[in-house]
Amino acid sequence: MTMAGKGILAMDESNATCGSRLEGVGVENIEENRRRYRELLITTPDLGEHIGGAILFEETLYQSCADGTSFVDALNAQGIYPGIKVDKGLRPLANTSESWCQGLDDLADRSAAYYEQGARFCKWRSVVSIPDGPPRTAVTGLARYAAIVQNAGLVPIVEPEILLDGEHGIDETFEVASWVWAETFKYLADNNVSFERMLLKPSMVGPGADCPTRNTAEEVADYTLRMLNSRVPPATAGIMFLSGGLSELDSTLYLNAMNQSPNPWHVSFSYARALQNTVLKTWAGDDAKKDEAQAILARRARENGQAQLGKFVAGDVSDSESESTYQKNYVY
């Protein structure tokens, strides 16, 4: 997953979240439709050239393609490691404005079962909302999760997501992220988590979604790299950024800007909507559009693979697609 030019496809949306996106394009939220869509993703030709891992939802880990090939085998055939989301969703944390993820109580047993099924890495997410005030306990569960799954043989992805919601500027994001990332690694160290056997999945350091001041890709890259260098141990195996509400194009441009100079880590991507959004809109439940949708996913994977190498050029679009169409389509 940390080979040059590779990143992660995040396709671990819960049944409710995946269902809302399917329903948004007129597709009924039933298991078979979720299976059909996810089969489209993992059977995309040559996907493994730029995707090293795919994060699955629990339902998806146990599903199979229409021809009977398990999803795990289909991914392995492309050289893509299967992973799984292991938290059980966010819940309000009593007496605070924060949320926390359930699932620690039976995580050891579930991790062993997931490994037996073929998963080789996993993900646990915590969220921080800047408008809700300074977080206090949101990141502590990440460390316990990482320690538990490492003991089960899985590589943990640690995801302290700082939400884009709000009018705050990039400097306030930097301040909050500085605290969150410092606390995350403190607790990881306290729990004897091996940094060499984990991946960090952070948000990029940018302005809030409603901030009137917008920053360039170079500014976002500068702030984010300063944060990485001041807070993340060089031993950490990889930094797999989430897109977190960014447009498809911006998420690629920001990643590309961060890879214009050498880093001690593998600075790459673990995108969901930034890889899938146009794919889902194109397919919309019509298998006659499957090839077209897969071609878009393959291109998005390739573009972000180029960005991981610092070699992405926004003008490199297909002959049939103008730059204006590219800009319009890659926004959600």
In the chain, which residue ranges form alpha helices assigned H by DSSP?
A: 15-24, 31-42, 58-61, 71-77, 107-117, 140-151, 170-190, 217-231, 248-258, 273-283, 290-308, 323-329
99 Ramachandran zone, left/alpha/beta (phi>0; psi -120 to 50): beta
- Phi and psi, residue 313, nearest 5°: -125, 120
In sign, the C-alpha dihedral spanning 153, 237, 145, 118 is negative
Task: Confirm whether 201 is a catalytic residue.
Answer: yes
The question of whether 6 is a catalytic residue gets the answer no
Would you say 247 and 300 are in contact if contact means Cβ atoms under 8 Å apart? no
Structure tokens at 59: 């339902």
Which residue shows structure tokens 């500085």? 178
Closest CA to 282 of 270, 307, 299: 299
Q: Which of 39, 201, 248, 303 is catalytic?
A: 201
Which position among 159, 183, 248, 303 bears the catalytic label? 159
CB 327 within 8 A of CB 317: no
Orientation angle between helical segments 290-308 and 273-283, nearest 10 degrees: 160
Structure tokens at 278: 């146009």
By annotation, the residues acting in catalysis are 159, 201
